[in-house]
Amino acid sequence: MMQDEDAAEPSISETADSDAPSKKRRRLKQAKLPTVGADTTGLQGSEDVSLKEENAIWRAGLTQLTRELRHRTCIRYAGEVFNTATQAIVAAMLAHSSPHERDANEATSVPMTARELLAVPTVDAEIPAKPDKFTMLVKYLTAMCQHASGMVTQTAPDTFNKAERTNDGGSYSVHMRNIVKTLQRKSIHSFVHEKYGAASARLVRVITDQRQVEQKTLGEMALLPAAETRTRLFDMYRDKLLNLQEIPKRADYNPQFTLYCWSIDDNRLTRRLVERTQESLVKLRTRRKLEAESHKDLITRSDQLVEQHDKEKFDRVSWSLDRLDRSILHLDRMLMLFDQF
């Protein structure tokens, strides 16, 4: 009898084991369905939830847009430096890398071998056939790797595929960050050239290359007299574009025995350029608005103009507005280069 009762009553461990799954099931939380923009009228007796088109929430893909504009900038730069063949190569490498990128400002693209590049139709069409397309492609890639901007980097050496009995030519990637930095330096050089003159721009270029230069050596490298070098340097120093470090040779700080070393504050120079660009954008947009409002009637009836005088006036207004639009777009690209890329 005792054995039957013991067999009939479940043990404590068995009871705990049987209750554990039920407790776990009770702890599980069901996923909540979205309540914003969802059609909840047909939820009774059905779990199907659909979004109404008029209630759908849309968001701009700013990251993808910035990435595409950055890619186009790199492609355009490759074409300006070399030719259409390198432009097609960079375009193919960035198109291959785009689905794998997550950030808007990736440093480099996803590596791609020379064989994979040659298999792209646009690249194959641009590469010269003589003496051999694969050899010419590798030469183009090597030239881009050796360029001062470092637009392309080799990520893996040439390897031999035993199965196909061919070599892949090595793996390469587009160094987008180097291209952006090169374009930024060019924009800074243009800014200094416009504001302070060609000689000052030459001084800035020498300082940028050398990072820190003594004043006498700087004048010799820039091919400028000592007096003009000193004047131009202090003009830019007054606007807080350059840094000056004094290194005395004697304890009395005699200027004749003191070295004056110049360097560039990149952040300050970039900030000054961005501020100047923003000011120019405001002026251009204000001028365009005034130009459009002052000739509003003429623009409205542009399709109904009959007299030659009105047509000529409309052509002048259109040319002026088009010129302002092109200037605004140019400054927008420059601002995006420093702010987004």
**Mean pLDDT value of segment 54-81:** 86
- Strand 166-167 relative to strand 160-161, pairing: antiparallel
DSSP sequence for 94-107: HHHHGGG--STT-S
Classify strands 171-174 and 152-156 as parallel, antiparallel or unpaired: antiparallel
pLDDT in tens, 167-219: 878 899 999 999 999 998 888 888 888 888 899 899 988 888 888 888 888 88
Q: What pLDDT is recorded for position 12?
A: 46
Rounded Cα distance, 288 and 278, in Å: 15
- The 8-class DSSP code of residue 110 comes to P
- CA angle, residues 225, 227, 231, in degrees to nearest 5: 115
Tens digits of per-residue pLDDT, 221-256? 888 888 898 899 888 888 888 888 888 777 777 777
State mean pLDDT over 256-285: 85
- Reported residue count of the chain is 341
Query: Collapsing DSSP states into helix, strand and coil, what is residue 192?
Result: helix
Residue 33 has pLDDT above 50, yes or no: no
**Residue 71 pLDDT:** 92
Alpha carbons 341 and 333: distance in angstroms, whole number? 10
Taking the CA atoms of the chain, what radius of gyration do you get in angstroms? 33
Backbone angles phi, psi at 38, to 5 degrees: -105, 150
Instruction: Compute the distance between CA of residue 74 and CA of residue 150 in angstroms, rounded to an integer.
Output: 12
The pLDDT of residue 301 is 82
pLDDT at 294 over 70: yes
pLDDT value for 37: 44
CB atoms within 10 A of CB 118: 18
Which of 133-147, 154-168, 195-209, 318-332 shows the lowest mean pLDDT across its residues? 154-168
| Residue pair 170/185 in contact by the 8 Å Cβ criterion | no
pLDDT of the residue at 50: 53
The yes-or-no verdict on residue 44 having pLDDT over 70 is no
**How many other C-beta atoms can be found within 10 angstroms of the C-beta atom of residue 245?**
11
H/E element, 281? helix 266-294
Instruction: Please report how many Cα atoms fall inside a 13 Å half-sphere around the Cα of residue 133, on the Cβ side.
Output: 17
- Mean pLDDT, residues 254-274: 82
Q: Which residue type is seen at 79?
A: G
Instruction: For residue 88, give both structure tokens.
Output: 């097609």
CATH assignment of 62-176?
1.10.10.10
Per-residue pLDDT, 192: 87
Point out which residues pair with 245 in neighbouring strands: 261
Fold (CATH) for 197-264 = Arc Repressor Mutant, subunit A (1.10.10)
**Which pLDDT does position 174 carry in this prediction?**
93
Helix H or strand E segment including 160: strand 160-161
| The pLDDT of residue 304 is above 90 | no
Question: Could you tell me the two tokens for 108?
Answer: 């480099």
Model pLDDT, residue 143: 92
DSSP string computed for 244-257: EEEEESSTT--GGG
Q: Is the pLDDT of residue 16 over 50?
A: no
Q: Report pLDDT digits (tens) over 102-126.
A: 888 888 999 999 889 988 999 988 8
Average pLDDT for 311-330: 89
What share of the chain in percent tops pLDDT 70? 83
Q: Confirm whether 62-176 and 197-264 share one CATH topology.
A: yes
**Domain extents for the chain?**
62-176, 197-264, 269-340
Report residue 36's pLDDT band, with 50, 70 and 90 as the boundaries.
Answer: very low
- The pLDDT assigned to 159 comes to 81
Instruction: Report which of 148, 103, 273 is spatially closest to residue 204, judged by C-alpha positions.
Output: 273
Per-residue pLDDT, 190: 86
The stretch 323-327 carries a mean pLDDT of 91
State the amino acid at position 182 in one-letter form. T
pLDDT at residue 48 tops 60: no
What is the reported pLDDT for 47?
46
- The helix/strand/coil state of 65 is helix
| pLDDT, mean of residues 267-288 | 88
Packing angle of the helix pair 62-81, 176-196 (nearest 10 deg): 70
More confident residue, 245 or 14: 245
Separation between Cα atoms, residue 101 and residue 111, nearest integer Å: 12
Q: What does pLDDT average to over the chain?
A: 81
CA distance to 1, 5, 26, 203, 275, per residue, from 14 (Å)? 21, 16, 19, 86, 75
In whole angstroms, give the CA distance from residue 108 to residue 94: 9
